[in-house]
């Protein structure tokens, strides 16, 4: 360690390399924390966890006992074991006894991305509540057509305050906090929508996963989805260079100018049969989708490709990487897939086969450096290398199935919640009595400040 610090001071190593090296060392040592303990205030399974995106200080949890709680994960409430173990009790909890509390399980609890003054809860009682953190009062309520499975807000948004909600209903609804009404609905799924996720590269792009096995990309400024992921369409490795694609486009354009009339007729028949934009066309057909023709090949129209599936079963979890270039998805087929967002193709990363819950959504988490994805796998949480699919770490500590996890990139800590009603903290291991930094006892004085 000291040698690496010296190399950094002398400029022999780059700052990013040094920072990534330190983060990897910490993540590699993640174990059940021996110095931090979250005292759960819930009497039911933990369904959702999130640390606020502004300070990285407050942990929000939602439970099946219809309650939501907030914890301060930086300032402990009390200490045990001679000041060694820090106990973090909830700052407040809102449950059924609250006048505006939920009546059934809280399936999703998220922070307002801009500050910690608001948080949002979605419940099986068909309601989404917007809470004022300081007064613990509901400032807005949205009545949904069915059970709420997942809610999400864009962390990049500067132009809207929309809550995307996935429910039992086939339509995805966008709830506007500013107006207190529904902005609009997104139609395309053929069954309930179990998970929703905003893009990390655009405030207008929303990704949804349904019980029909489909993953759809939406631009909320226009009608219809613009991309449907198909597990049968795949590519090896990473995306091709931009220059190669542009060169291929020019060649295809020149070829399309001299295509025989017979091929034009067959291509027109193919488009007519598809009756939709998202059918996988040849490179020539891709180039010709310009101007008025692009609207004729609108993605929201029904087509064979519009019925493509990303999983053999319901899509139970979605997570977009921090750079917005890749999407991780989990399904009730107990498969984990990595998708290239630009091309919409499966990258064919062979993640190790694991058992995952199939009847309810699960919450995935990622770390940027190193590139790991944390996946609840029944009673354990496994960390997979994002590019090789191999298991890097396994976290065993829960007595029952794990439903959610959240990775704090600020402190390199992992928070997990499960059906055993516990919230566990996984931190880089450290020695409990760190006497080496205290110095000899005889060198200390009794002066008071």
Indicate if the pLDDT at residue 205 is higher than 50: yes
Average pLDDT on 280-284 reads 37
Indicate if the pLDDT at residue 16 is higher than 80: no
- Check residue 47 and give its pLDDT: 95
Cα distances from 26 to residues 14, 31, 400, in angstroms, run 19, 10, 27
Q: How many CB atoms lie within 10 A of CB 176?
A: 16
- Check residue 22 and give its pLDDT: 74
Q: What is the DSSP pairing of strand 68-72 with strand 172-176? A: unpaired
Q: Residue 16, class by beta-carbon neighbours within 10 Å (0-12 exposed, 13-18 middle, 19+ buried)?
A: exposed
- Check residue 236 and give its pLDDT: 58
Higher pLDDT, 4 or 334: 334
The closest alpha carbon to 33, from 435, 440, 411, 438, belongs to 411
Instruction: Give yes or no for a contact between 38 and 424, defined as CB atoms under 8 angstroms apart.
Output: yes
Percent of the chain exceeding pLDDT 70 equals: 76
Q: Which CATH superfamily is domain 11-236+303-428 in?
A: YVTN repeat-like/Quinoprotein amine dehydrogenase (2.130.10.10)
Cα(317)–Cα(329) distance, integer angstroms = 6
Indicate if the pLDDT at residue 384 is higher than 80: yes
pTM passes above 0.85: no
Indicate if the pLDDT at residue 389 is higher than 50: yes
- Check residue 9 and give its pLDDT: 65
| Mean pLDDT across the chain | 81
- Check residue 63 and give its pLDDT: 96
The DSSP symbol for 240 reads: P
- Give Cα 432 distance to the centre of its chain: 34
Task: Measure the CA angle with vertex 80, ends 76 and 82; round to 5°.
Answer: 115
Q: b/e per residue, 73-109, with b = 16+ CB within 10 A? A: beebeeeeeeeebbebbbbebbbeebeebbebbbbbb
**Which parts of 73-134 are beta strand (E)?**
78-80, 85-88, 90-94, 106-111, 118-123, 127-132
- Check residue 3 and give its pLDDT: 66
HSE at residue 303, side-chain half, CA atoms within 13 A, is 25
Among 227-241, 297-311, 317-331, 396-410, the range scoring the smallest mean pLDDT is 297-311
Indicate if the pLDDT at residue 284 is higher than 50: no
Cα distances from 358 to residues 50, 64, 312, 408, in angstroms, run 22, 17, 11, 26
Residue range 373-382, pLDDT digits in tens: 999 999 999 9
- Check residue 264 and give its pLDDT: 38
Among 138-142, 244-248, 342-346, 417-421, the range scoring the smallest mean pLDDT is 244-248
The DSSP symbol for 117 reads: T
- Give Cα 140 distance to the centre of its chain: 25
The closest alpha carbon to 153, from 162, 166, 144, belongs to 162
Backbone φ and ψ of 222, nearest 5°: -140, 165
Instruction: Give yes or no for a contact between 128 and 175, defined as CB atoms under 8 angstroms apart.
Output: yes
The closest alpha carbon to 199, from 373, 322, 59, 337, belongs to 322
- Check residue 285 and give its pLDDT: 36
Cα(94)–Cα(9) distance, integer angstroms = 50
Residue range 228-279, pLDDT digits in tens: 999 888 765 554 444 444 444 444 444 444 444 444 344 444 444 434 434 3
Indicate if the pLDDT at residue 295 is higher than 90: no
Confidence of residue 43 (pLDDT cuts 50, 70, 90): very high
Cα(203)–Cα(440) distance, integer angstroms = 56
Percent of the chain exceeding pLDDT 90 equals: 59
- Check residue 207 and give its pLDDT: 96
Q: Residue 70, class by beta-carbon neighbours within 10 Å (0-12 exposed, 13-18 middle, 19+ buried)?
A: buried
For residue 169, give both structure tokens.
């209903």
Cα(330)–Cα(319) distance, integer angstroms = 9
Query: Collapsing DSSP states into helix, strand and coil, what is residue 26?
Result: helix
Helix ranges (DSSP H) in 10-84 = 15-28
Which bin fits 28, alpha (ψ -120 to 50), beta or left (φ > 0)?
alpha
For residue 311, give both structure tokens.
């999983």
Residue range 46-91, pLDDT digits in tens: 999 999 999 999 999 999 999 999 999 999 999 987 778 899 999 9
Question: Which run of H or of E encompasses 263?
Answer: helix 261-274
Q: How many CB atoms lie within 10 A of CB 263?
A: 11
| Residues, the chain | 449
Residue range 146-200, pLDDT digits in tens: 999 999 999 999 899 999 999 999 999 999 999 989 988 999 999 999 999 999 9
Q: Which of 11-20, 51-60, 365-374 has the highest mean pLDDT?
A: 51-60
Instruction: Give yes or no for a contact between 216 and 310, defined as CB atoms under 8 angstroms apart.
Output: no
Beta bridge partner(s), residue 317: 330
Q: What is the DSSP pairing of strand 30-32 with strand 326-331? A: unpaired
């Amino acid at each position: 360690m000291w040698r690496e610090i010296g190399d950094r001071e002398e400029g022999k190593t780059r700052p990013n390399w040094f920072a990534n090296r330190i983060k990897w060392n910490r993540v590699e040592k993640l174990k059940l924390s021996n110095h931090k303990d979250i005292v759960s205030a819930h009497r039911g399974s933990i369904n959702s966890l999130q640390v606020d995106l502004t300070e990285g200080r407050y942990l929000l949890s939602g439970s099946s006992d219809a309650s939501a709680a907030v914890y301060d994960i930086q300032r402990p409430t009390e200490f045990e074991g001679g000041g060694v173990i820090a106990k973090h009790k909830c700052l407040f909890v809102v449950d059924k006894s609250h006048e505006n509390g939920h009546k059934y399980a809280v399936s999703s609890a998220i922070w307002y991305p801009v500050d910690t003054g608001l948080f949002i809860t979605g419940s099986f009682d068909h309601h989404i509540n917007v809470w004022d953190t300081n007064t613990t009062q509901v400032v807005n309520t949205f009545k949904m057509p069915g059970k709420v499975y997942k809610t999400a807000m864009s962390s990049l948004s500067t132009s809207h305050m929309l809550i995307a909600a996935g429910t039992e209903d086939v339509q995805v609804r966008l709830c506007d906090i500013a107006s207190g009404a529904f902005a609009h609905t997104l139609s395309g799924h053929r069954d309930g929508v179990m998970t929703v996720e905003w893009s990390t590269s655009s405030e207008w792009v929303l990704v949804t996963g349904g019980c029909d096995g489909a993953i759809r990309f939406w631009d909320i400024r226009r009608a219809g989805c613009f991309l449907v992921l198909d597990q049968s369409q795949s590519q090896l490795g990473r995306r091709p260079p931009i220059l190669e694609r542009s060169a291929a486009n020019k060649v295809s354009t020149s070829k399309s100018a001299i295509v025989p009339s017979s091929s034009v007729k067959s291509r027109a028949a193919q488009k007519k049969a598809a009756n939709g934009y998202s059918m996988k066309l040849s490179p020539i057909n891709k180039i010709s989708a310009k101007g008025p023709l692009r609207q004729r090949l609108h993605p929201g129209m029904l087509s064979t490709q519009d019925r493509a599936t990303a999983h053999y079963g319901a899509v139970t979890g979605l997570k977009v990487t921090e750079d917005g270039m890749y999407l991780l998805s989990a399904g009730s087929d107990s498969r984990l897939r990595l998708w290239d967002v630009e091309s919409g193709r499966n990258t064919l990363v062979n993640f190790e086969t694991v058992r995952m819950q199939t009847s309810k959504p699960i919450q995935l988490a990622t770390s940027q450096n190193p590139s790991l994805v944390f996946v609840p796998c029944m009673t354990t949480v496994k960390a997979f290398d994002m590019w090789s699919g191999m298991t890097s770490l396994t976290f065993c500590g829960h007595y029952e199935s794990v439903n959610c996890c959240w990775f704090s990139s600020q402190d390199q800590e992992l928070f997990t919640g499960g059906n055993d009603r516990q919230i566990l903290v996984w931190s880089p291991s450290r020695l409990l009595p760190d006497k080496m930094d205290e110095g000899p006892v005889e060198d200390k004085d009794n002066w008071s400040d």
